[in-house]
Amino acid sequence: MRPILQTMLASISLYLPALSAHQGDHSSIAELDALLAISPDAPSLLMTRGAAYTRTGQWDKAEQDIRLAKQIDTHINVEFALAQLYFHSGAFNNALLHINQYIEINPGYAPALLLKARSAHAAKQTKLALQSWVDYLTMEPLAHPGDYLAAAKLHALTGASGLKKALDLIDQGIENIGLTAQLQGYAMQLELDRNQPTRAYNRWRSLEHQLGTTPKYKITLAKLLILTNRAGEARLMLEDARTQLLQLRKTPAREALDLKLLSIEKQLG
């Protein structure tokens, strides 16, 4: 029964969208209720239902199932499941307590390292969170861009030296998983925060093949052109963006771009 349980535990998502119920969770709970009516002492069924309760925000029921599974089979390691439960319910320090206990036994399990990093981050334990992000990203270099971004943003909050560390981490992510607008766009903003407009311009230009046809790209590029003393090029870029926006259906996001465009034009005079 233990191999089945390990498979179930490994399949539980650690990403924040898991806070919302997965499609079919409620029907799955009903099916598990029926199975547990037949086999009430089946730890694997209790763990599976506990995970479904966690995803649907039924914290008390989730904890009851997980702890009952442990009571029935003391060999089961429930620390990972409890850590997830406490993380998603907002009890981040409790989540850290249990995920640390899990990692002591399973130090090479990347999802556990990720959960530790996110728990420490959410608990505002900055030093622990930074080290935990390093541990996770070292173990899982092909991590989601959002994980590199979360770690970099935390570094950026720690002062001038943190900005450089944040940039280094973003560049590490780009090297490992490839150039993405999410990572390079944030790196561009970090360069501006470090008063490096030319570096910011070069980073944004590297996204031209991905974003170059969009008004947002052109408006941001115009801002960077101004900062690098190329006002004439900036005007041309803004004219291009305005022409494009006039041809597109109005949406709140595009209206916001219109306002940003007007603001940049005022800077040009």
Query: What's the rounded mean pLDDT across residues 161-171?
Result: 97
Residue-wise pLDDT for 227-236, tens only, equals 999 999 999 9
Q: Which tokens in the block code for residue 221?
A: 């590029």
pLDDT of 21 strictly over 70: no
Phi/psi class of residue 188: alpha, beta or left (left: φ > 0; alpha: ψ in -120 to 50)?
alpha
Percent of the residues in the chain that have a pLDDT greater than 90, as a whole number: 88
Residue-wise pLDDT for 66-106, tens only, equals 999 999 999 999 999 999 999 999 999 999 999 999 999 99
pLDDT at position 15: 30
pLDDT of 18 strictly over 60: no
Cα(227)–Cα(196) distance, integer angstroms: 10
Protein fold of 1-105: 1.25.40
Q: Give the confidence band of 212 by pLDDT, cuts at 50, 70, 90.
A: very high
User: What are the DSSP calls for the chain, one per residue?
Assistant: -HHHHHHHHHTS--SGGGGSPPTTHHHHHHHHHHHHHH-TT-HHHHHHHHHHHHHTT-HHHHHHHHHHHHHH-TT---HHHHHHHHHHTT-HHHHHHHHHHHHHH-TT-HHHHHHHHHHHHHTT-HHHHHHHHHHHHHH-TT--HHHHHHHHHHHHTT-HHHHHHHHHHHHHHHHHH---HHHHHHHHHHHHHTT-HHHHHHHHHTTHHHHTTSHHHHHHHHHHHHHTT-HHHHHHHHHHHHHHHHHSPP-HHHHHHHHHHHHHHHHH-
Phi, psi of 160 (to 5 degrees): -60, -45
Q: Which tokens in the block code for residue 101?
A: 């206990």
Residue-wise pLDDT for 169-206, tens only, equals 999 999 999 999 999 999 999 999 999 999 999 999 99
Please state, rounded to an integer, the average pLDDT across all residues of the chain: 91
pLDDT of 12 strictly over 60: no
pLDDT of 13 strictly over 90: no
Residue-wise pLDDT for 115-138, tens only, equals 999 999 999 999 999 999 999 999
Q: Which tokens in the block code for residue 98?
A: 């249990």
Q: Give the confidence band of 10 by pLDDT, cuts at 50, 70, 90.
A: very low
Residue ranges per structural domain of the chain: 1-105, 212-269
